[in-house]
Structure 1
Amino acid sequence: MERYEGLSSREAAELLAEHGENAIKEKRRSGALAMFAGQFRDALMMILLAATAASAAMGEISEALTIIAIVFLNAVLGFLQEYRTERTLEKLGELSAPTAEVIRDGARRQIPARELVPGDIALVEAGDRIPADGLVLESAVMCCDESMLTGESDGVEKVPSIPERPCKVYMGSLVTKGRGVIQVTGTGGSTEMGRIAGMLGSIEVGQTPLQKRLAQLSKVIGLGCLVVCAVVAATGILRGEPPFEMLLTGVSLSVAAVPEGLPAIVTIALAMSVGRMVKRNALVRRLHAVETLGCATVICSDKTGTLTENRMTVQELRTPEQIIRLRYQRKGDSFFCGENPVSVRDHTGLRMMLTVAAVCSSAVLTTKKGVDGGIRNQASGEPTEAALLLAAARGGVTREKLGWEVLREQPFDSARKRMTVCAKGPDGTLRVLTKGAPDVLLERCTRYLTQKGEQTLTKEKKDKILAQVAEMGESALRVLAFAWRPAAGPTDVQERDFIFLGLAGLMDPPRQEAFEAVRKCRRAHIRPIMITGDHGVTARAIAQQLKICREGDLVVTGAQLDQWDDHRLKDQLDRVAVFARVTPAHKLRIVRALKEQGNIVAMTGDGVNDAPAIKEADIGVAMGKGGTDVTKEAASVILLDDNFATLVAAVEEGRIIYGNIRKFIRYLLSCNIGEVVTMFFAMLMGMPVPLLPIQILLINLVTDGLPAIALGLEPGEPEVMSRPPRQPDESIFSHGLGATILLRGILIGLTTLGVFGWMLRQGAPLEAARTGALLTLILTQLIHVFECRSETRSLFAVPLSSNPKLVGAVTVSASVAAAAVWWAPAREIFLTAALSGQQLQLIILCCAIVPVISGLVLALRSGKSRRLEE
């Protein structure tokens, strides 16, 4: 390596000025002020601000201040969530190497990786991150993990470049074995990672389904306010009332019709849901994203590290006579033939094969004390080598325990496809041990080992062994063969006349929790699709194990996808369970095709190659541990434990939160309609105004606050993960919710108006009648909040104990209402009067009748739905 002069300091400085720093330009993050201002870009927030202006114009300063306080609270909550998440992201680890070792001015120097320039000569070794894209000039058995770019879990061997066959390394990949010299060819945005990151800029982020539904709701409320204002003003003018007073009255009613607390309660409910998800290792970057997960119809999942452990393990060992499978359990046996445990000590062939795996290896075995006090084996090095070393250690076979000493080594290379060592055993016996590709190694074997001793390796026996290799390959196993022979001397590494010992099948296994997660997805009518850069055979095998790929499903490769036009892709999309050997552009195309079919698409991933598709998807999910910074920046949700099961829990949480949003929209709008009906019909009937502005304010404070927030904490219903996902264009008032809100609001209003009119006819003072209307309106609303806990069950069918916070909130609200009526200082503020026992009994009776009528309507509707289903 001393023969490389490298760049001079002057050349490097000039190139740095020309090409810029070796860093991917980060998207400029919004400042705190811009982030806060962004919380007000919402139609409902605009309506509330208009209501504030109208209240102030009418002299209702307290009403205006209340609305402003609610709007400000909503903005603060949204800002705090977004700001906290952005700061958390800044603390997540960087992907690129912080420093690099280069040759400058003919000498080795350690420099910040940001200062690398094209033409630099960089030195890398096992454990290093590749600091920039480059060509391999020298390689000493160098192997790189490029799964973050390719999606493949296998290491990639790097050999010196020649003009007709350049060998490249890529920024951010990890050197797992060996060492090498590279010449930098691309830095910063010119790297492969930078190119993929650049694709993100062309993707626009649309509104979430919840934001679309709330926008729709805002239009309905806005139109309703205009209609109420116009009708009331016109009615009063026709009756001969002063036009200006009627206009002010209409505006006052419109303000009463606006659910001021809705934005704040939606934000609080989402923020609390986000808090629960953080405890379950899911970090939500954008508040509304949690609800979007709840309506996902498709989850496109990367394979490596997401559905699998991203860790090569030995699955089975085959001696010439037996198939032995490994079980990776903490206690008990690890090796089984069928259901019978196998003793490595008593099985000569198995013990010899594991000895070759332990001694003929470039990986290093270490031990670590676990939290339970037990000893854990760990292996560092190339993934396949490390997996073999750990499997041998499970059988109690390690180089140190057995006392083997390696005297001579012939390392693995892609041309020979094998590794061979000469080693001395504990008894001084010299042996040549080898492992490698089965077809290559079998050609160098003349005998094979059985429990009875050595046998001649005939052509027929070779064919049977190769048939076993093919069978293992179809199960997505990477197969290696093992052999040994007596050595002629301490330097003997000739690869001939070996005794065949057996085969090992390795794979990156599925995560255990992924099995249950996929099953839950199926039950929830969510379609899982695997999208990976790995081989089709491997991808199919993993997908079949997880039940992602079922009978009749297709596995489509990137090469096939290139031959399909968009029309054929959409035509075949419903049958495809796995996309294999795909590029970042393929992933982007697949996600767009799914969205064009009307799906709500969730896309998971960890590598840079996943980032464009993650940003394009309706909900992008990045891995917190293994994910790259580019991927995390593009995602809406980050799984801090890289666990697919956490994603399923987030989907469930999303469904629960949307159900709760529907519940308190039902509650708030029913209550507001009740208020409007009370005021509107009283005016039409020529009655006195039943409620004063200060009393309307009290109602909103008592009923729209704590009870609605507590309703947002309602636990999920048992069948929440058994229902199909909502249709993307489904109205927030679907499934009869709009009719339910209207009916219940009218009942609340008519009940209040009935009590008000009855008390006036009984000769009660106007102040007492208004107090009766006030109490009736509050109590009917507080009873109604319990009806809103379920859309399919009556308030008597849902136990109070499942949401004690709601019981507490209603108790507090009822106490405040009672104080406003029976506490003298409060009566002066709210202009109320103490009621008699008879009047109170009437109010309670009328309030109790309303849920009975609603319950009958719900029962009739449920019976009709069941008959239609039958």
Structure 2
Amino acid sequence: MTKNNYAVEISTRLEGLNDKEAEKLLEKFGLNEIESKKQISAFKLFLSQFNDFIIWVLIGATLLSGFMGEKADAITILIIVVMNAILGFIQEYKTEKSLEALKELAAPTAKVIRNGKIKIMKAEYLVPGDVVIFEIGDRIPADCIIIEESNLLIDESLLTGESVGVSKSSNSNNNLIYMGTTVLRGKAKAKVIDTGMNTEMGKIANMLNNIEVEKSPLKQRLASLGKILVVACIAICVVVTLLGIIRGQDKYQMFLVGVSLAVAAIPEGLPAIVTVSLALGVSGMLKRNALIRKLPAVETLGCTSVICSDKTGTLTENNMKVRKVLYNNEIYTDFSTFNNANKLLKAFTYCNDINFDFKYNKIEKCLFGDPTETALVKAFFYEKNRLINFLKDIKRVYDIPFDSTRKMMSVIVRENGKKICYVKGAPERIIERCKYILINDKIVPFEGRYRLNVLKQVDKMSSEALRCIAAAYKIDNLVNNSSIERDLIFIGVAGMIDPPRKEAFNAVQKCATAGIKVIMITGDHRNTAFAVGKELNICSSSNEVMTGSELDNLNDKELRKIVDRIRVFARVSPKHKLRIVKALKKKGYVVSMTGDGVNDAPAVKEADIGISMGISGTDVTKEASSMILLDDNFATIVSAVEEGRVIYDNIRKFIRYLLSCNLGEVLTMFLSSLFYLETPLLPIQILFVNLATDGLPALALGIDPPEDDVMVRKPREKDESIFANRLSEKIVIRGTLIGICTIFTFLVGKYYGMSIETCRTLALGTLIMSQLLHVFECRSEKCSIFQIKLFTNMYLVGAVLVSIIMLLLIIYVPFLRMVFHTVPLNIGHWLIIVFFSSVVAFANGLYIFLTHKN
């Protein structure tokens, strides 16, 4: 693919555009985005609420009723249908908006030079002429021409289908990089030449960098359950209708009863409420700095039994500070005496990928980049002018970027007319490549006491939880790339510390209480890893620590045998992460795995919950993940797990509530028909029950606050049924009792010679009030109604009050009374309703209270 003619004339300045130029170009070329399918309009979304066979039948029946003279009933039923549709529309519309907000937050970003400064901005605001900086793992956000590069390799398989990476160079015809491709190796500075639909990606009209919105497995299971319930409810409604007709009741009236009962009984909103609950949970997690990319992850989070976490920046503060330096075969803690000619300063400052901005006075504010690399520079430079003078005569010629396999980076600079290679990295990797050592500015063989002392000091610093970075250099044999990092001259080692996050200690403790194993995975030395792991109570013995080299000596079967006994993996590479995940999954654990580098993506994708870093993570890893940590904090993972458990609990709560109530309504009508009773509820009353009790209370349960034991229980099994732990038994028993109590209320009214309208009003009041009492029971599966804190969910209290007010309105407002065929009730009537609607709830609550007490 080539672009011979550029559509615009762009700036050649390496400092990029300024804001005014960018604004004009953005106005001319538009946002840098691929056109996506149009979202369904709010009006069409509202109309879709009526796209249901049962609703069509009901609308047809009510229209027929209107033509037959029952206009009040027909109008009221239609109003109720519309109100139900409005509730459904609000639920779905809120879900769509939540998902759109997530897409906005997860939009790709780019590192751009604007106004001569490096800034991170949303890729959609890129314009032709922008200068963009890329590193390994970044996704290219627009079509660009390379200005300068270092060892650049691009994955263009998304466009070409070729899995082999393509080398790119600014000094060849192969100098174009395209939107959607990925940096596999190296880094580059490039100028944007095309954006949006003008890019190669735009021409093939693929939507990239898009959050995946998958159907939740739970939602799919509930949709299947809903179909079964639909068939069962329709069958019962047909029986109720036929029994009424057999008894000689009006055929049309019984048909309307059957249809109304089907509308009220079928939990058609169950999958929708699950989606709303998941979406609201996602919003809640977002407030805790956890961005969920895939809805199914919310369910899986609650099952998490192992969290495999990176150390640096996740369990620790990612704020490195050099504490000790090994140089001239001695340990230094004061670095102010190191002069500018010191080879150690040069190695750590030149062999570095940080960016400098010297407009600030304090040296700390002048350095931007990886915390480890900035710490190495800050350790030796206390004011910016000294650093400026140190850098001014140095020209960087070539570099080999750091990667997690080699665990080192190399930079060739031109210094005083000579080419010198500086290398820094993991001590064991540097030491094994060194043939000489620099002692008092003299180069001597790196053997005997010198090598032994270096190994001893590195081991000692590591045991003190110091992260060690070694430095070396060489002057000759720089032409052949394969020999650059061979026969090096050892300079010294810096030992730095990244203290554990204060909140990480509490989060690890919370995991232990919740039955979740925490495994720390790090590239640091074994001793450093053990020291940090012990401080955080992740491990207690060195026997719980394994290195990558030890792991290499085990086959997969051997690893599976011991993997759950290891709590810290040190000196590991990304390929080790993948093996660890697979071994844990084979043993039945539900695994969460964190990652940031491009090579972490396979392990992140393999995990049940792949977690990428929002701050330090690459685009590739973010796309492979289910969740992004916006603050790179381990405590956020634990908060997300807790939120996942709460969401699942709340889904069980409203499933219990909805199905119990719907079963109670069906049994009320079925048993009355079975025992040849008069119809206890009219069609319009049945629909009113559905409107008053199914919507707001169920939604309020979906945002119920967590119970006290939510992070004390063990993780549930991943394939555990939503009806586990006798939930189906509770639904059947409570639903049956709601139906029986409603019929008994109706019979009591008949026994005392009350009018049929009064009896039906009593039954209506009992059915609604028993359901509204039951909604509080559903807040806990272990506590009684006496133990539940009533005012910890004010949304639920408000929803119940709204439902009660609606009931009172149709009983005491004359016009509504006429529409719903109710009569005013006196205190005696209400005592009957209160008794039958509460007797089961209070008896059940007393039973739970007494049994738990004993």
Superposition TM-score, scaled by structure 1 size: 0.67
1:76 aligns with 2:68: no
1:55 aligns with 2:55: no
Distance of 2:38 and 2:584 partners within structure 1: 34
SS of the residue 1:714 aligns to:
coil
For 2:634, the aligned partner's letter is F
Q: 1:267 aligns with which of 252, 265, 275?
A: 275
Distance of 2:46 and 2:312 partners within structure 1: 37
SS of the residue 2:494 aligns to:
strand
1:32 aligns with 2:39: yes
1:653 aligns with 2:682: no
SS of the residue 2:837 aligns to:
helix
SS of the residue 2:594 aligns to:
strand
Give the conservation status (yes or no) of the 8 Å contact 2:345–2:380: yes
Partner of 1:124: 148
For 1:124, the aligned partner's letter is E
Distance of 2:200 and 2:312 partners within structure 1: 26
Distance of 1:856 and 1:171 partners within structure 2: 65
Give the conservation status (yes or no) of the 8 Å contact 1:303–1:539: no
Q: 1:114 aligns with which of 118, 123, 143?
A: 143
Partner of 1:469: 458
Distance of 1:441 and 1:289 partners within structure 2: 47
Q: How far has the Cα of 1:220 moved from its partner?
A: 4.8
Counterparts of 1:390-789 in structure 2, within 5 Å, are 390-393=378-381, 396=382, 400=386, 463-472=452-461, 477-480=467-470, 503-506=493-496, 513-529=503-519, 534=523, 537=526, 541=530, 544=533, 551-552=543-544, 554-555=546-547, 560=552, 564=555, 574-575=564-565, 578=569, 598-615=588-605, 617-789=607-779
1:296 aligns with 2:307: no
1:283 aligns with 2:288: no
For 1:400, the aligned partner's letter is R
1:819 aligns with 2:848: no
Partner of 1:159: none
For 1:387, the aligned partner's letter is A
SS of the residue 1:838 aligns to:
helix
Distance of 1:112 and 1:205 partners within structure 2: 22
Q: Between 75-84 and 460-469, report the one with greater CA deviation.
A: 460-469
Distance of 1:126 and 1:632 partners within structure 2: 24
Q: Note the alpha carbon deviations across 1:756-801, whole angstroms, 9 max, x for none.
A: 1111221211111111111122222222222222111112212223
SS of the residue 2:719 aligns to:
coil
Distance of 1:765 and 1:416 partners within structure 2: 91
Q: How far has the Cα of 1:211 moved from its partner?
A: 2.5
Give the conservation status (yes or no) of the 8 Å contact 2:260–2:686: no
SS of the residue 1:124 aligns to:
strand
For 2:386, the aligned partner's letter is E
Partner of 1:807: 797
Q: Structure 1 pair 380/755, CA: closer, same or farther in 2 (3 Å)?
A: closer
Q: Structure 1 pair 661/466, CA: closer, same or farther in 2 (3 Å)?
A: closer
For 1:520, the aligned partner's letter is K
Distance of 1:39 and 1:473 partners within structure 2: 63
Distance of 1:435 and 1:629 partners within structure 2: 27
SS of the residue 2:495 aligns to:
strand
Q: Structure 1 pair 312/134, CA: closer, same or farther in 2 (3 Å)?
A: farther
Q: Between 259-268 and 661-670, report the one with greater CA deviation.
A: 259-268
Q: Structure 1 pair 572/278, CA: closer, same or farther in 2 (3 Å)?
A: same
Q: How far has the Cα of 1:573 moved from its partner?
A: 5.1
Give the conservation status (yes or no) of the 8 Å contact 1:205–1:615: no
Partner of 1:257: 265
1:229 aligns with 2:243: no
Q: Structure 1 pair 50/761, CA: closer, same or farther in 2 (3 Å)?
A: same
Distance of 2:586 and 2:314 partners within structure 1: 25
For 1:754, the aligned partner's letter is F
Q: How far has the Cα of 1:525 moved from its partner?
A: 2.3
Give the conservation status (yes or no) of the 8 Å contact 2:462–2:525: no
1:386 aligns with 2:347: no
Q: Between 380-389 and 833-842, report the one with greater CA deviation.
A: 380-389
Q: How far has the Cα of 1:225 moved from its partner?
A: 1.6
Distance of 1:357 and 1:783 partners within structure 2: 74
SS of the residue 2:143 aligns to:
helix
Distance of 1:136 and 1:558 partners within structure 2: 37
Distance of 2:804 and 2:207 partners within structure 1: 57
SS of the residue 1:834 aligns to:
coil
Q: How far has the Cα of 1:73 moved from its partner?
A: 3.7
Q: How far has the Cα of 1:569 moved from its partner?
A: 6.2
Q: Note the alpha carbon deviations across 1:91-119, whole angstroms, 9 max, x for none.
A: 533799999999xxxxxxxx997365xxx
Q: Structure 1 pair 480/540, CA: closer, same or farther in 2 (3 Å)?
A: closer
SS of the residue 1:392 aligns to:
coil
Q: Structure 1 pair 359/85, CA: closer, same or farther in 2 (3 Å)?
A: closer
Give the conservation status (yes or no) of the 8 Å contact 1:124–1:130: no
Distance of 2:414 and 2:102 partners within structure 1: 53
Give the conservation status (yes or no) of the 8 Å contact 1:603–1:613: yes
Distance of 1:826 and 1:114 partners within structure 2: 65
Give the conservation status (yes or no) of the 8 Å contact 2:544–2:566: no
1:85 aligns with 2:118: no
Q: How far has the Cα of 1:707 moved from its partner?
A: 2.2
Give the conservation status (yes or no) of the 8 Å contact 1:602–1:617: yes
Distance of 1:91 and 1:465 partners within structure 2: 44
For 1:92, the aligned partner's letter is T
Q: Structure 1 pair 580/255, CA: closer, same or farther in 2 (3 Å)?
A: farther
For 2:39, the aligned partner's letter is A
Distance of 1:198 and 1:65 partners within structure 2: 36
1:847 aligns with 2:850: no
Partner of 1:328: none
SS of the residue 1:724 aligns to:
coil
Superposition TM-score, scaled by structure 2 size: 0.68
Q: How far has the Cα of 1:813 moved from its partner?
A: 1.9
Give the conservation status (yes or no) of the 8 Å contact 1:524–1:724: yes
SS of the residue 1:504 aligns to:
strand
